[in-house]
Amino acid sequence: MNFFTIEKLQKQLVEIRQAVYREILPIPQFKFCEADPAGAAFPRYDDSDWTDFRVGDYWGGYDVVAWFRAWLTIPEAWRDGKVYLRFLVGPRDGGDSTAETLVYVNGEPLQGIDIWHEEAWLPPEVVQRGQVHLALRAWSGVLGVPDRRRFRLAQLALIDEPTERFFYLADTLIRAVVELAEGDLRRLHLMNSLNRAFLKLDWTRPGSPTFYQSVAEAERHLRADMERLYEVAEIKPHVVGIGHAHIDMAWLWRLGHSREKASRTFATALHLMRQYPEYRFMHSSPQLYEYLKHDYPCLFDRVKERIQAGQWEITGGMWIEADTNLTSGESLVRQFLHGTRYIKREFGVDSTLLWLPDVFGYSYALPQIARKSGMQYFLTSKLSWSQFNRFPYDTFHWRGLDGTELLTHFVTTPEQGSRIYTYNGQFTPKDVRGIWENYRQKDVNNELLLLYGWGDGGGGPTKEMLESARVLQNLPGLPSVAQATAETYFARLAERLADKPLPTWDGELYLEFHRGTYTSQAASKRANRKSEILYHDAEWASALSDILLRQADYPLAELDEGWKLILLNQFHDILPGSSIRQVYEDSLRDYARVAALGQRALTDAYDRLANAIQSTTPSLVVLNSLSWPRDGLVSLPLSREFEGKTVLLDSDRPALTQVIEEGGEQRLLVEARGLPALGYRALPLTSQTGAVSSNSRRHDYQPDPSRKPLLPPRTQCPRSNRLAVGQARPPRSPGAG
């Protein structure tokens, strides 16, 4: 027998790859519009005034959306075959990124097209109709974009299915051979099978019917060999694959771009699920699903169907994958509250897995908050990025501040060409072998979770990854492989480890990297903290008002809208400070909306409270939104309307007061003492002669200017002192209306 070297097999495989396309028809021309008109995806849309665009021409620029539309005719002879669309809408062209495109067929979103997904399968019902309307919504990008992008390729291709199957089978086996040692008997078995198959190929007339018949015979022979090898019993670890597409809500692109990235990524995942029934895909972040429901309701409905069928997994717990270091404890609770409620309401699913693969370290308080929010497990891979020390464990109990423990597992898939681990696995033999070699606790656990699919900017798994997973199911010398959901994996992991010794890490999970992010973009960080304080106060005051007044005026919709914006801007590339400038311009606009909603709710609640509190004398109402009793200073606008009035702390003890100038405005400082936790106190207003005012207005009064100063000259009073003021009104006389 003649033996091929691996290099010769790889060279022949290149020609096999080209032979997958049995016939090719170019799509030479489109109608073109460099804008984003509504309805452009639908066949009946009138594009008569659009420009004629020939494939090979240029389009785009920085952050440009363009539409390309065309009618296609599927040849009669192709209509029982497998047909692909092939596109190169905007390759790198000297830039640092490529165009991203959503393909519509007959008005329905089919799949995303990007650097990793250049082909789209046409379903049989579309092919058999013969006439196909094609619409492409292309985005030029914002990262290192060239002046113009070139639309290089648009084709319709008839696929030779045995050749396609042979290519993916042989390609994965060759990659597996490379991973096995030279003297490994299993490597020899795989090489023998490959040699026997490749010797059956008839290269005398490539592309001829005889050639394709020989490829089909080689595919049958090689697959039969693999089926026999799959049956060989072998002690080996097991790898569970879950498709994944990490989408940064904002990073090197803006939030609006991520909304579209989600639509393309989700459309691709749905399309691949139809072709690969065993495929399981997971995505966190209910915020993206809410966007999808608004922007692409047809895709949202299809996602919902796949979740119900068990192919699509939504978990993660949080509203978005949030930073946990700068975010307050209350905000972390709200991340879980909004996240788990949405998942339950929209999909009927209870989430038990905290999913934060890319966050820059994890707070000591997180285990307690996560467990009380229904989480039982935690997954990440980020600590492998640490600059100096490798974290000592990959599977362990993480103990939080109060002693609560959370079963934690680190993904150990190797990043190609790097020492770190990745959540963007490729599902290659190298990944499957490397994830096990990297794992530290082989003595207690022999099943690992591999996240695969292109991420950060979305994209997700490819058909190449799914074909590789099929071949890898039980190859000699490598871990066995199957696809399942992450929640299922963790439930099995917990059961497997129930009676085994597992280490415990007590403390925060500190990342020795990205340190500078926590001191950058101070305006955004300040706005986040002010928003958290404002919404605490607004919620407290609104609830207190409803309880005391026995009303139902709580502004739930407005506060929920504000909270979702706060939570969104706590994303792990926004709040820490690692995104591009435009992200923070958008963020500050969001915070302005947050402040407007929160301040209106707070002011309305304070007004209701002040107007409802009755006193025998006109009084200054001071509210304390903190959860402990306190004394403090109240800063008020100065008014001459109540000149000569004095604020009393007790019946015979006046409060200390002082007039100051601040920001060009005269203000009055008033001493407030004995304020109850989360409550209020009414301080009577009296005249120096003992007279009592018969009426008052909020904030409008002036005390005796001879009182002792509270602050040295030119000293500014802290503005965020968490004290609020209002005016109590005397009781109405009987019959007053």
* Local structure of 37: helix, strand or coil: coil
Q: Could you count the other beta carbons within 10 Å of the beta carbon of residue 235?
A: 5
Best CA proximity match to 70, nearest among 85, 80, 91, 92: 85
**137, 74 Cβ separation under 8 angstroms:** no
Tokens of 303: 């996602």
517-553: b or e for each residue (b if 16 or more CB lie within 10 Å)? bbeebeebbebbeebbbbbbbbbbbbebbeeeeeeee
468 to 193, 224, 431, 449: CA distances (angstroms): 17, 17, 11, 16
Q: Which residues contact 166 (CB under 8 A, 6 or more apart)?
A: 16, 197, 215, 216, 218, 219, 222
Rounded distance between C-alpha atoms, residue 430 and residue 175, angstroms:
8
| Cβ–Cβ under 8 Å, residues 606 and 683 | no
Residue 406 CA to residue 317 CA, distance in Å, equals 14
Catalytic residue among 358, 394, 537, 590: 358
Angle at 206 between CA 204 and CA 208, to 5 degrees: 100
**What six digits make up the tokens of 55?**
């494939």
Of 230, 207, 218, which is closest to residue 166 (Cα–Cα)?
A: 218
Rounded Cα distance between 266 and 292, Å, is 9
Pairing of strands 645-647, 679-687: antiparallel
Residue 90 is given by DSSP the state S
Three-state SS for 135-190 is EEEEECCCCCCCCCEECCEEEEEEECHHHHHHHHHHHHHHHHHHHCCCCCHHHHHH
CA distance between the termini of the chain? 108
User: What residues have CB less than 8 Å from 117, skipping those under 6 apart?
Assistant: 111, 268, 459, 462
Distance between CA atoms of 586 and 571, rounded to whole angstroms? 13
- Look-up of token digits 């900017």: 457
* Cα 642 from Cα 702, distance rounded (Å): 5
* Nearest Cα residue to 89 out of 11, 175, 165, 148: 148
Give the Cα separation of 239 and 241 in Å (integer). Answer: 6
How far is the C-alpha of 573 from the C-alpha of 246, rounded, in Å? 12
How many degrees, rounded to 5, is the angle at CA 343 between CA 339 and CA 349? 135
Catalytic site residue 93? no
Q: How far is residue 207's CA from residue 203's CA, in Å, rounded to a whole number? A: 9
Instruction: For 21, list phi and psi in degrees, rounded to 5.
Output: -85, 100
Strand-by-strand arrangement of the 665-675 sheet: 630-637, 665-675, 657-662
Residue 249: name the closest of 423, 451, 457 by CA.
457
CA–CA dist 46, 529 (Å, integer)? 50
Q: Is 261 exposed, middle or buried (0-12, 13-18, 19+ CB in 10 A)?
A: buried
> Which of 436, 390, 388 lies closest to 235, judged by CA?
436
Catalytic residues: 358
